[in-house]
Structure 1
């Protein structure tokens, strides 16, 4: 029976552009594994997509003052383009904002609800009185109670990875306005994880020998405190609406909705694939993700699947560690790291990046990108060993033997070399089957070393004069090593493998071969070319300057322009504040009576926290006077006072010279 393999990659938030750690931490290893499975002729589906319902996207859109749909529609193709440039071979890379996803999430939830794993409870949630909204977990930042990191989020501390609730934070602040929220009680829906605890523990323990040790120990350690019910709804506008009466204004928590994307995206490819990869018990599901996502994929998501009862559980949760940059964590705010939006135009071959990033896949511990190591490894191992071997053999063949490979019987030297290569092939397969990608790649490079050694020891440049027949035999065998190298190289450096096949004059069709075979006989190659250019110091310095500067997201969004005619419709006048009163039951609203010369208007404004009453009375400010009347807390507002704002403060717009009230502002 043909193996069925479903490869899943954790859904990235589209709140920013990916950095190098995102690529190495899930997308690249997942791609290498998926390519290998396809070459082995396993029925393989590689699924990924963008998590667009999360509050990170909504927060960033609010900060940029961009419509959320416009924001997501702009960031999604940027993500997709970057993954395509890295040759991440997704069969589908979709979006959780699609209608099909919303439909699948609702159906998935209702099945859990019918099965009795959903309960309703009243919980205490952060409410921002300034923004007048319940704050989602990620809208709250404060000090982590566990490690004292000062910018821990309300859902998880990115420093120590502890799962949190906003109420756990010390000195919590609203991320939108930097004010301290109050905590109010609100009814929400919960997934009854406690009912599934024994099953989850038993399932995790059954994965010993399949999962990496740190994934199992981290998951079991997280379970020591016992599983509690987990809230799965939020007071947000963005997301999948809850299909229950009384919850119409709530959406599902992003960590309930997002992993269901694995299922909805599979369905998007076909109903047949849904049945084949999610309901056929013979299918093996591999989840690739970073360590901050481990408990969600080993506890929360499997519990959802168990509660639903219709879909397969993951076979292997490939939890990877972090890739850091030159000594510390990658951070856009600190401009510390390599950011992928400019990497496409870097002028550096994609497989040079893939090559070094494979060395950095953090399989058992955190890894670190270092520019010096990047340069040395690329110039030494990739170019000096692998690329040099390929070019030496093929250029010799073209220049001295007219590019024609003849046929020869192999001798003891060749048989010994084949035995070495076969051992490498066996090791590569064993490691890739167990998702040990770095060790597999080391053995791919070892084949290049073996080929180089054979070529060097047999000195075909000397044989060309002394024994041309033997020279042809050495090149015949070396050329077949080059072909074998290209085959095993394909999952790792696909473009390079294709270039080698092109130079060998072969069709770009790659199937896995477990043993070395002579396949190039009586064959003529194409013109060989060097596979890569070396990275000199000047190039490295240029890359450092260009790739470590995060792009300003605002540059993706053009400000809407208005005509002078449109602007002229806005009537602004100077008004003098005559009276000021505090509005009962409000911390920030003031009622102003404003004189505009020929008339007086009432203005309701939320400036009480920034201005004392005596700072306003008798002062002149700029107002918009032709807006529609609006009721605020039962008081009618007839105009709007203008102010400059940031997160910390506001500053009312005034005039630098005295002028009569009612004067027009242009």
Structure 2
């Protein structure tokens, strides 16, 4: 592998490291996809840079502004601050339990962030990168407010879905503007909004195209190729002015006299949090330093945030002209779950609120999740792989070696073994040489932020330890040649010590426990792998991990794949909403027009068998079905993706409305409708009581 610039260690005395992870949006609880998408990889890298001797600052915080927060709070009968307070505490506790080593985990609702954002904007404004412009927006006269995108609902102009939002249609997946919706209505009161023209502020991103182009190209060999390619693609298409203000109440006020009634768009204020959070620590790591003190800034983010961190955020920094630009933007892909997307609405995934009560040590979760960090492509959680990898690799390899070594020394040498009694032979010298060579490979891999490969190197080292112990078989030599036995076990103890130091970024609890069992009171450091003269006084031996029992794991699965957290006010609001739904449902049933038998006969209902089913990647709701109706086969799009896996639909019999006018969605013609019922648990397909011949008519 060609050595990248990352592998140059630099001057640790002068060069400082600032690491950030994506700011979680606190209108809900985090799932494992959020953890592997930024928090865990950023933490692993921060811990690693610390053990090799860098001055590291690791900052994170909650993104607490914007329309989704307002909407979520309104649904739960809370004000936005109350909602954020509640979920912020949940997020913080989860990250602490997972040993995410933030120096600070702050909030964009804090006063220091508000003032920092306003100062940042004022400088950009003075530098000539802000202009006024007019945009057409929906206005609700009854609510007396301009409606943000998500506060408008209506019929999608592309597929006809009647509950499309003003920013996107969930049925066909197309991005929308509120003004494109047919029959638009206010999501708050149901009134039809009128379109009004409003003056807003725009960031002149286009003025910075050339500077951004040069800067991004300078990152070749540092950034991932796909991150560079995607970013340059945006510039090639032509950057446009971006509106940075919104007509909502919850947010940071614009510090201009004519715009006091507006707040900053959340994408503008959120990244400034990296600066304000660092300021809270009393550190000056962002402002350009004339004294020659260098700061390398690393952003760890998911792929949906790449462009914000390679185009918009750097452009803001360039326009301000007082701050350092990021050194590396580490763009990561998505984590899926058991063959599909993680979905909170379907309780599909692993939700982190219940992990501390799972009975599984956080290191075990970190171990599996590290292997699922989607560094170059999407990854997938599978429960059987979690069980097998934990039992075979973490416990059977790493944990087994440490436990065998320390238990043997504790039992046979009263826990005491030291360098004075040892005279290494060729086997010991060769083994330690191999260990240290692997450790140096680990170091270079980690400097290049290949975190999964870094963990694999640790397992290779413990594997070498297991092979060495098996070859030397000290239990056989104990009565024959005690000195040779001591030599073997001292070498094994040194390998355990090396593992305690270099495993810390991945397995902090286990690293700490190994140090405690070795009775060594020090922090993990990479340089410790070269120490030879150590007096080990081993004590309080216990296994690092418990073997996973499949039955227990399935019980745990039931616990961690459900969202249980809810505010008291939210529960009351949901109960009220359920009652309202029942009332509306009853009212709708009463108001439905009575039809004649002749009108009913116009519906051509037939039994069909689903022969094929596949997901439509661009849609969150639709599954493409091939249905056999006896004399013909039809393609039908069904909005059941949240409730059924494609594989579970094959060979299932369904009821099809065959004379419904066909319509195109996502360039696919849907030739009918599958009948289904909907209740509080979701959508359920209507199926014949017994196997029925395809094409059989109903009625």
TM-score (norm 2): 0.75
The CA deviation at 1:118 is: 0.2
| Aligned equivalent of 1:603 | none
| Aligned equivalent of 2:362 | 350
| Aligned equivalent of 2:663 | none
For residues 172 and 217 of structure 1, the distance between their equivalents in structure 2, rounded to whole angstroms, comes to 38
Q: Is the 8 A contact 1:277 1:283 kept in 2?
A: no
| Aligned equivalent of 1:551 | 564
Q: Is the 8 A contact 1:142 1:152 kept in 2?
A: yes
2:112 counterpart of 1:100: yes
User: Alpha carbons of 1:490 and 1:106: their partners in 2 closer, same or farther (altered >3 Å)?
Assistant: same
| Aligned equivalent of 2:509 | 495
The CA deviation at 1:430 is: 1.1
Other structure's SS at 2:259 match: coil
For residues 298 and 278 of structure 1, the distance between their equivalents in structure 2, rounded to whole angstroms, comes to 25
2:10 counterpart of 1:7: no
| Aligned equivalent of 1:80 | 92
Q: 448, 458, 474: which is aligned to 1:444? A: 458
The CA deviation at 1:539 is: 1.4
The CA deviation at 1:415 is: 2.2
Describe how 1:436-585 pairs up with structure 2 within 5 A.
436-513=450-527, 516-521=530-535, 523-555=536-568
For residues 214 and 78 of structure 2, the distance between their equivalents in structure 1, rounded to whole angstroms, comes to 47
| Aligned equivalent of 1:222 | 234
Give per-residue Cα distances to partners, 1:339-368, cap 9 Å, x unaligned.
Answer: 111111111101000000000000000001
Q: 266, 271, 279: which is aligned to 2:278? A: 266
Give per-residue Cα distances to partners, 1:261-282, cap 9 Å, x unaligned.
Answer: 1111111111545558999662
The CA deviation at 1:169 is: 7.2
The CA deviation at 1:409 is: 2.4
Q: 417, 435, 451: which is aligned to 2:431? A: 417
Other structure's SS at 1:11 match: coil
2:67 counterpart of 1:55: yes
2:383 counterpart of 1:371: yes
For residues 442 and 170 of structure 1, the distance between their equivalents in structure 2, rounded to whole angstroms, comes to 55
Q: Is the 8 A contact 2:76 2:571 kept in 1?
A: no
Q: Is the 8 A contact 2:288 2:324 kept in 1?
A: no
| Aligned equivalent of 2:58 | 46
The CA deviation at 1:508 is: 3.8
User: Alpha carbons of 1:528 and 1:515: their partners in 2 closer, same or farther (altered >3 Å)?
Assistant: closer
| Aligned equivalent of 1:649 | none
For residues 412 and 229 of structure 2, the distance between their equivalents in structure 1, rounded to whole angstroms, comes to 59
2:78 counterpart of 1:66: yes
Other structure's SS at 1:465 match: coil
Unaligned runs of 5+ in 2: 1-10, 574-587, 592-699
Other structure's SS at 2:257 match: coil
For residues 222 and 150 of structure 1, the distance between their equivalents in structure 2, rounded to whole angstroms, comes to 33
User: Alpha carbons of 1:299 and 1:145: their partners in 2 closer, same or farther (altered >3 Å)?
Assistant: farther
Number of matched residues?
563
Other structure's SS at 2:478 match: helix
Describe how 1:171-190 pairs up with structure 2 within 5 A.
176=188, 182-190=194-202
For residues 54 and 450 of structure 1, the distance between their equivalents in structure 2, rounded to whole angstroms, comes to 52
For residues 458 and 526 of structure 1, the distance between their equivalents in structure 2, rounded to whole angstroms, comes to 24
User: Alpha carbons of 1:223 and 1:337: their partners in 2 closer, same or farther (altered >3 Å)?
Assistant: same
Q: Is the 8 A contact 1:428 1:443 kept in 2?
A: yes
Other structure's SS at 1:74 match: helix
For residues 569 and 417 of structure 2, the distance between their equivalents in structure 1, rounded to whole angstroms, comes to 53
Deviates more, 1:481-490 or 1:143-152: 143-152
For residues 278 and 28 of structure 1, the distance between their equivalents in structure 2, rounded to whole angstroms, comes to 33
For residues 164 and 220 of structure 2, the distance between their equivalents in structure 1, rounded to whole angstroms, comes to 32
Q: Is the 8 A contact 1:502 1:508 kept in 2?
A: no
For residues 172 and 274 of structure 2, the distance between their equivalents in structure 1, rounded to whole angstroms, comes to 27
Deviates more, 1:432-441 or 1:266-275: 266-275
For residues 83 and 284 of structure 2, the distance between their equivalents in structure 1, rounded to whole angstroms, comes to 33
For residues 483 and 132 of structure 2, the distance between their equivalents in structure 1, rounded to whole angstroms, comes to 83
Q: Is the 8 A contact 1:236 1:251 kept in 2?
A: yes
Q: Is the 8 A contact 2:78 2:569 kept in 1?
A: no
For residues 185 and 485 of structure 2, the distance between their equivalents in structure 1, rounded to whole angstroms, comes to 75
2:132 counterpart of 1:120: yes
For residues 149 and 425 of structure 1, the distance between their equivalents in structure 2, rounded to whole angstroms, comes to 57
The CA deviation at 1:184 is: 2.8
For residues 220 and 340 of structure 1, the distance between their equivalents in structure 2, rounded to whole angstroms, comes to 36
User: Alpha carbons of 1:317 and 1:164: their partners in 2 closer, same or farther (altered >3 Å)?
Assistant: farther
For residues 37 and 176 of structure 1, the distance between their equivalents in structure 2, rounded to whole angstroms, comes to 49
2:401 counterpart of 1:389: yes
User: Alpha carbons of 1:103 and 1:161: their partners in 2 closer, same or farther (altered >3 Å)?
Assistant: farther
User: Alpha carbons of 1:271 and 1:402: their partners in 2 closer, same or farther (altered >3 Å)?
Assistant: closer
- Bigger radius of gyration: 1
For residues 215 and 150 of structure 2, the distance between their equivalents in structure 1, rounded to whole angstroms, comes to 30
Describe how 1:593-612 pairs up with structure 2 within 5 A.
none
For residues 225 and 24 of structure 1, the distance between their equivalents in structure 2, rounded to whole angstroms, comes to 31
Give per-residue Cα distances to partners, 1:147-170, cap 9 Å, x unaligned.
Answer: 999998766899999987555778
Deviates more, 1:105-114 or 1:424-433: 424-433
The CA deviation at 1:143 is: 9.2
For residues 509 and 287 of structure 1, the distance between their equivalents in structure 2, rounded to whole angstroms, comes to 26
Q: Is the 8 A contact 2:20 2:298 kept in 1?
A: yes
The CA deviation at 1:306 is: 0.5
Other structure's SS at 1:466 match: coil
Unaligned runs of 5+ in 1: 561-608, 613-666
Other structure's SS at 1:240 match: coil
User: Alpha carbons of 1:541 and 1:245: their partners in 2 closer, same or farther (altered >3 Å)?
Assistant: same
User: Alpha carbons of 1:318 and 1:274: their partners in 2 closer, same or farther (altered >3 Å)?
Assistant: closer
Give per-residue Cα distances to partners, 1:42-71, cap 9 Å, x unaligned.
Answer: 121101000111222211101111122221
Describe how 1:397-408 pairs up with structure 2 within 5 A.
397-407=409-419, 408=422
Describe how 1:633-648 pairs up with structure 2 within 5 A.
none
The CA deviation at 1:90 is: 0.4
The CA deviation at 1:435 is: 1.2
Give per-residue Cα distances to partners, 1:108-136, cap 9 Å, x unaligned.
Answer: 00000000000000012233456443232
User: Alpha carbons of 1:456 and 1:278: their partners in 2 closer, same or farther (altered >3 Å)?
Assistant: farther
For residues 84 and 436 of structure 2, the distance between their equivalents in structure 1, rounded to whole angstroms, comes to 49
The CA deviation at 1:515 is: 5.2
For residues 502 and 161 of structure 2, the distance between their equivalents in structure 1, rounded to whole angstroms, comes to 44
